[in-house]
Structure 1
Amino acid sequence: MDASDWLRLTDNPESLAPFCTRPPDLASFDLFSVHIDERDTGLTLGFALDSLPGRPPAEWTAEGLNAFEFFLTFEGIAHLHINGWSGSHADAVTLTAGASGGIRTEIRGDGLSASWDARRVRVLRTRAYSASRHE
């Protein structure tokens, strides 16, 4: 499976189509947020890109927006394992078809690893914004 095939595993693959020429490699984004909700056995990942995606709407560029983010929400989490999370960059984020029709997710990086199975995943809240640049 190609690194960009993950989007077809979501409930709403059309959510990123207007902005991207092809599904992005998740490792090219900054994984800036992980929220685990034990009440609903859910997990949400926040991904940010310090540029606009390949096909930004004209109004984004006209407004001077220069960054993009979206969230992936996983439902029905099982077999959650997290090891060594220290704010390191995620070198690989993969979603694959798991056993019994679910989604297997793995995150790997220097000093970190995480994995889980989910019943379903969907793209939630895409947004372009203006980010300041520090040199």
Structure 2
Amino acid sequence: MTDANEWPELRALYGTAPLPDLDTCDFFHVHIDERGTSVTFAFETSRLPAEPKAEWKGAAYNTLRFWIEFTGVSGLRVSGILAEAKRSVRISGGATPGRLDVSVTSETRSIAFSASASQVLHTRVYLKGSL
């Protein structure tokens, strides 16, 4: 099982620097795949990697997006479906050995589950305009 705080895909981008704090990242996507018992979250951050991929070098960007897939999901509980700016993301060693406890909660909405593993599926950078 991958340590939730040390995804190798993100570690390669950030080197020895701390990984982005999920509580401060924009949480913009949830995909629940009941057939594969997986849940995928997507986040974006303006905290750019210290060691970008070769194909990103020379490109103009100010935002990193990354998708985290949780597999072997059980005990899924969802309340509400809209994203809120103020929310808390928690990924920790589960009450059951070899499992992760995952939750994203706000004042009015939440998603929580247990997972056997997690991995970063995809990363991409882009230039986000100001509003």
Q: TM-score range by the shorter chain?
A: 0.7 to 0.9
Give the match for residue 110 of structure 1: 107
> Against the structure 1 CA distance between its residues 23 and 52, is the aligned structure 2 distance closer, same or farther, given a 3 Å change threshold?
closer
Whole-angstrom CA distance in 2 between matches of 1:70 and 1:90: 19
1:20-99 aligned within 5 A? 20=14, 21-49=17-45, 51-55=46-50, 57=52, 60=56, 62-98=58-94, 99=96
The answer to which structure has the higher helix fraction is 1
Q: CA deviation at 1:89?
A: 2.4
Q: Which runs of 5+ in 2 are unaligned?
A: none
> Against the structure 1 CA distance between its residues 24 and 88, is the aligned structure 2 distance closer, same or farther, given a 3 Å change threshold?
same
Residue 10 of structure 2 is aligned to residue 16 of structure 1? yes
**Secondary structure of residue in 1 paired with 2:8:** helix
Q: CA deviation at 1:88?
A: 1.4
Q: Is the 8 A contact 2:38 2:69 kept in 1?
A: yes
**Secondary structure of residue in 2 paired with 1:16:** helix
**Secondary structure of residue in 1 paired with 2:12:** coil
Q: Is the 8 A contact 1:85 1:111 kept in 2?
A: no
Counterpart amino acid of residue 76 in structure 1: G
Q: Which runs of 5+ in 1 are unaligned?
A: none
Q: CA deviation at 1:7?
A: 1.9
Aligned partner of 1:7 among 5, 15, 18: 5
Whole-angstrom CA distance in 2 between matches of 1:31 and 1:6: 16
> What is the Cα-based RMSD across aligned positions, in Å?
2.0
Q: State the TM-score, normalized to the length of structure 1.
A: 0.82
Aligned partner of 1:100 among 74, 97, 101: 97
Q: State the TM-score, normalized to the length of structure 2.
A: 0.84
Query: CA offsets, 1:3-58, max 9 Å, x none?
Result: xx8323xxxx2211233211221011111000000111111000011x24251538
Q: CA deviation at 1:124?
A: 1.2
Query: Sequence identity of aligned pairs in percent?
Result: 30
Counterpart amino acid of residue 18 in structure 1: A
